Structure 1
Amino acid sequence: MGIDQTKKFYMVSKDILPEAILKTAMVKELLARGEVLTVNEAVERVGLSRSAFYKYRDGVFPFYQASKEKIITVSLILEHRPGILSNVLNAVAHFKGNILTINQGIPLQGVANATLSIDTAEVLGDLEELIYKLQQISGVKKVEIVGQS
């Protein structure tokens, strides 16, 4: 069963999604983690009807699942201080991300833009965790996934 190449996918913030979509994602996570054994048990736990789950299940999946084994492009805004880019690269390496390209602009007004292309085929855990860790690095002002292929 291959991916339908005519379908388009969008990355959307969870705060604008309807409740049924969010609950469908929660059901899929419960099942994937083995916290429940059946769809019935999962939909009851999150308060979703079985019909709504089956309606949306093939169109809802976590970002990290969609991005696994792909190349993502991450845009960062970094303070202009020694070692910040090095800390970012070390964090990516810690998660077993393979950095393919690094582009960094000239610092202006104390910050520099950097763009990383990362092969995610071997990434440990999920990409949301990696992005969160990058955001926690001192001197990292912003982290945003701007593309994937």
Structure 2
Amino acid sequence: MTERYYVVREDLLPEGIVKTMQVKEMLQRGEAATVHEAVERVGLSRSAFYKYKDGITLLDQMERERIVTVAMDLEHRSGILSRVLSTIASLEGNVLTIHQSIPLQGMAGVVLSVDTANMGQPISGLLEALRRQDGVRKVILTGQG
């Protein structure tokens, strides 16, 4: 399944998602010291915050932020990670960090931090290019910033 992104006007969003963004903004501005404090102030459960926090970002923040975190499941075969890294480089992305788990049942989890400042296309183009690679089973954008 292809990951899809939407631009949605705030008044159309469910209350839990709007409050999650309020908590993230409070933490970023230093108006709350902990998640617990911030969720109490906006009237949101911690479980709802953790459920939605990685899935919502203000559009203007996305435009300014250039480092993304991408999680992938790769088949445990020679050269797959190398091809993934080459794909990112060909799109002018710069890999900052690589974390790979030990392969289990023929699959390895890989998390990359990628600087996208010089990429001439949107992040969705990078994700699609990675999904098309042989041996790449799953690609998820897990964070920005």
- Runs of 4+ displaced beyond 6 Å: none
TM-score of the pair, normalised by structure 1: 0.57
Residues 77, 143 of structure 1: 8 Å contact kept: yes
Asked if the contact 1:76–1:141 (Cα under 8 Å) also holds between the matched residues in 2, the reply is: yes
Equivalent residue pairs, number: 96
Identity %: 43
| Contact 2:62-2:144 at 8 Å conserved across structures | no
Instruction: Find 2:141's aligned residue among 120, 126, 145.
Output: 145
User: 1:145 corresponds to which letter in structure 2?
Assistant: L
- The offset of 1:69, in angstroms, is 4.7
Match of 1:108 among 104, 114, 120: 104
In the alignment, is the contact (CA less than 8 A) between 2:65 and 2:144 conserved in 1? no
CA contact (8 A) 1:69 1:122 kept: no
1:85 partner amino acid: L
CA contact (8 A) 2:130 2:139 kept: yes
Distance 1:70 1:60 in 2: 14
1:66: Cα distance to partner?
1.7
What corresponds to 1:124 in structure 2? 120
The residue that corresponds to 1:91 in the other structure is 87
Q: Gaps (5+ residues) in structure 2?
A: 13-56
Cross-structure match for 1:72: 68
8 Å Cα contact 1:99-1:116 kept in structure 2: yes
Structure 2 CA distance, aligned partners of 1:130 and 1:68?
Answer: 17
RMSD of aligned C-alpha atoms?
Answer: 2.7
